[in-house]
Chains A and B, each alone.
Chain A
């Protein structure tokens, strides 16, 4: 158990800046999920912490000690890789024991730790097998076992579930969460999968083009996304955005199609006419015969729910998530409940919260 603090961590390759200064503090035992689209720098961040790359600037403090220039082996960090990176010629036992052998632990201690980890992960029957005789999920467990036996200060997970099929992914997700809760090891978890991000993290860090965009609990990120990017990234299907402008002295937004949405949580800063982007999640839209007319292009039945994708009369794309089966008409009426809207500045993309007073 340890704390991890990143101070203005930066990385560039020549003139290309990958990370533009990351500040982050993890409490002991916390699990922080770093989420972002591919190329946002999340893997680079993890590699810097692990010690596989050297930062261009900034500090990495593990338990208050700067480890930025230490060898990976000296940092007391364990990592779980996306492709597992097991040693193919070693048995499962040896795979887990290898790091302990190098560290010179006694045979009894190694045996004890490996057995304990194997028990926790349900790997006892396969300790003498080779990785290639194991299924993807089992290999992933071995990779976690290899990290656990080290009893490190910090766990790093680099998209560990991406190579698994959907069912196993859900199962392993729950398992990782249970394990991390139980062991209370400070963890950094990188993923592009928003469901993993929402379910696993104590807190979420959303990265976009090498910059941190929002750092908050998953529910905060979902309920009050800091930017239009975050709002569109978290949540499935993605949030709808409709262009509009501030009106009625800052107390409402008027969409380009003339619909007036009064703000439920207070007025916004700025002149009337300020360009806004109004976000609304597909599941918050309601079917209402008197609402806006949506011409349906595509119906995606998900079983208990259905996603309707269509266009408003003004041509704006809109998706709606409704309970049950799809309506059989070619167009439906959609109502936008004002309480559910998110207001963003159209030029900066930043969230525009209610005026404080």
Chain B
């Protein structure tokens, strides 16, 4: 009985894995083949192992009007890390304030943060651009990251985490002599470490995949992120080198995958573990 259920479960899981892996395999196979073959549509499902050199090539060579892929990966990494860390710092602090302190208009502050959830980036992108331009932050790393750092979602998630911490724990810390910052550092952050790690993974991937905002705010090819770079490779009037595009796409996948794998243990813990 149990064995049979295991067998069914494994079959379904295997099918699911194949379903997700097939497109990736296709991209990998295509990246090693001749660009013309891809355009014609006679793509082999088996990779051409002689074409593996393409990876070294895209990583290092500079194409006309762009930067090499290694540089784009670095720009993307800087942006994604900046956004993830920035969001976590800002939202931990604001969630701490609205959860643990009583001050005038506390609930108003909370609701204002909450309401920004309803404004997607696209809606406020023109005014945000204008503000960034006034500050002279176009084509800077600050311009790439700062507008994306404020996060209602992360603030709300941390608020929920903090609400689950019993009041008595804060009271005990106060009687032990811990001030507000000390309580945050010694108790609150370690207790919510798993949640922070889980959120870091989500936010890193979110930052890595940004497209519209970097497209607007960074026109300098030196600040091209990997996502922008891929789009730029798909030429409008020139012939697209599809094998290069495929190889770059695979390379672009690696850092987020690495982050998820490295943080997996924490990630699962953060999503599943209730407060003791």
Q: Give the complex CA separation of A73 and B171 in angstroms.
A: 10
Task: Please state if A73 and B169 are interface contacts (CB–CB under 8 Å).
Answer: no
Q: If the complex has contacts A98-B186, A102-B182, A132-B276, are A85 and B176 also in contact, measured as CB distance less than 8 A?
A: no
Task: Please state if B175 and A77 are interface contacts (CB–CB under 8 Å).
Answer: yes
Task: Please state if B276 and A78 are interface contacts (CB–CB under 8 Å).
Answer: no
What are the residues of chain A within 8 A of B191 when measuring CB–CB? 87-89
B190, CB-defined interface residue at 8 Å? yes
Q: Give the complex CA separation of A81 and B173 in angstroms.
A: 12
Task: Please state if A85 and B177 are interface contacts (CB–CB under 8 Å).
Answer: no
Task: Please state if A81 and B174 are interface contacts (CB–CB under 8 Å).
Answer: no
Q: If the complex has contacts A99-B177, A132-B276, are A72 and B171 also in contact, measured as CB distance less than 8 A?
A: yes
Kindly identify, within residues 149 to 177 of chain B, every residue whose CB is under 8 Å from any CB belonging to chain A: 166, 168-169, 171-177
Task: Please state if A85 and B172 are interface contacts (CB–CB under 8 Å).
Answer: yes
Q: If the complex has contacts A89-B191, A132-B276, are A102 and B178 also in contact, measured as CB distance less than 8 A?
A: yes
Q: Hey, what's the 0/1 contact readout for A161-172 against B, CB within 8 Å counting as 1?
A: 000000000000
Q: Hey, what's the 0/1 contact readout for A94-134 against B, CB within 8 Å counting as 1?
A: 00001100110000000000000000000000000001100
What are the residues of chain B within 8 A of A98 when measuring CB–CB? 173, 176, 178, 186
CB-based nearest B residue for A130: B276
A79, CB-defined interface residue at 8 Å? yes
Q: Hey, what's the 0/1 contact readout for B76-109 against A, CB within 8 Å counting as 1?
A: 0000000000000000000000000000000000
Task: Please state if B168 and A81 are interface contacts (CB–CB under 8 Å).
Answer: yes
Contact among A78, A90, A131 for B175, CB-based, below 8 A: A78
Among A71, A72, A77, A131, the most chain B Cβ lie within 10 Å of the Cβ of A72
A83, CB-defined interface residue at 8 Å? yes
What are the residues of chain B within 8 A of A150 when measuring CB–CB? 176
Task: Please state if B176 and A99 are interface contacts (CB–CB under 8 Å).
Answer: yes
Q: Give the complex CA separation of A77 and B276 in angstroms.
A: 26
B187, CB-defined interface residue at 8 Å? yes
Q: Give the complex CA separation of A145 and B187 in angstroms.
A: 19
In angstroms, how far is the closest chain B Cβ from the Cβ of A113?
A: 14
CB-based nearest A residue for B170: A85
A355, CB-defined interface residue at 8 Å? no
CB-based nearest B residue for A80: B172
How big is chain B's contact interface, by range?
Answer: 10 to 19
A52, CB-defined interface residue at 8 Å? yes
Q: Give the complex CA separation of A131 and B276 in angstroms.
A: 10
In angstroms, how far is the closest chain B Cβ from the Cβ of A96?
A: 10
Q: Give the complex CA separation of A356 and B176 in angstroms.
A: 53
A253, CB-defined interface residue at 8 Å? no
CB-based nearest B residue for A77: B175
What are the residues of chain A within 8 A of B182 when measuring CB–CB? 102
Task: Please state if B175 and A87 are interface contacts (CB–CB under 8 Å).
Answer: no
In angstroms, how far is the closest chain B Cβ from the Cβ of A325?
A: 45
CB-based nearest B residue for A102: B177
Among B172, B175, B182, the most chain A Cβ lie within 10 Å of the Cβ of B175
Q: Give the complex CA separation of A81 and B187 in angstroms.
A: 17
What are the residues of chain B within 8 A of A81 when measuring CB–CB? 168, 171-172
Task: Please state if B168 and A73 are interface contacts (CB–CB under 8 Å).
Answer: no
Task: Please state if B276 and A85 are interface contacts (CB–CB under 8 Å).
Answer: no
Q: Hey, what's the 0/1 contact readout for B177-216 against A, CB within 8 Å counting as 1?
A: 1100010001100110100000000000000000000000
Q: If the complex has contacts A83-B166, A89-B190, A89-B191, are A102 and B171 also in contact, measured as CB distance less than 8 A?
A: no
In angstroms, how far is the closest chain A Cβ from the Cβ of B169?
A: 5
A40, CB-defined interface residue at 8 Å? no
Q: If the complex has contacts A81-B168, A88-B191, are A73 and B176 also in contact, measured as CB distance less than 8 A?
A: yes
A246, CB-defined interface residue at 8 Å? no
CB-based nearest A residue for B169: A85
Task: Please state if B190 and A102 are interface contacts (CB–CB under 8 Å).
Answer: no
Task: Please state if A103 and B177 are interface contacts (CB–CB under 8 Å).
Answer: yes
What are the residues of chain A within 8 A of B176 when measuring CB–CB? 73, 98-99, 102, 146, 150
In angstroms, how far is the closest chain B Cβ from the Cβ of A82?
A: 8
Q: Give the complex CA separation of A322 and B103 in angstroms.
A: 60
A34, CB-defined interface residue at 8 Å? no
Q: If the complex has contacts A87-B187, A88-B276, A132-B276, are A79 and B178 also in contact, measured as CB distance less than 8 A?
A: no
Contact among A85, A87, A146 for B171, CB-based, below 8 A: A85
Residues of A within 8 A of B (CB): 50-52, 71-73, 77-79, 81-83, 85-90, 98-99, 102-103, 131-132, 146, 150
Supply 28 A–B pairs (Cβ within 8 Å), ascending by A.
Answer: A50-B171, A51-B175, A52-B171, A73-B175, A73-B178, A77-B175, A78-B175, A79-B171, A79-B172, A81-B172, A83-B168, A85-B172, A87-B169, A87-B186, A87-B187, A89-B187, A89-B193, A90-B190, A98-B176, A98-B178, A98-B186, A99-B175, A99-B177, A102-B177, A102-B182, A103-B177, A146-B172, A150-B176
- Enumerate the 8 nearest inter-chain pairs by beta-carbon distance, A residue then B residue, closest first: A99-B176, A85-B168, A73-B177, A102-B177, A85-B172, A89-B190, A81-B168, A72-B174
Residues of B within 8 A of A (CB): 166, 168-169, 171-178, 182, 186-187, 190-191, 193, 276
Known: A52-B171, A77-B175, A81-B172. 5 other contacts (CB 8 A): A51-B174, A73-B175, A82-B168, A85-B168, A146-B172
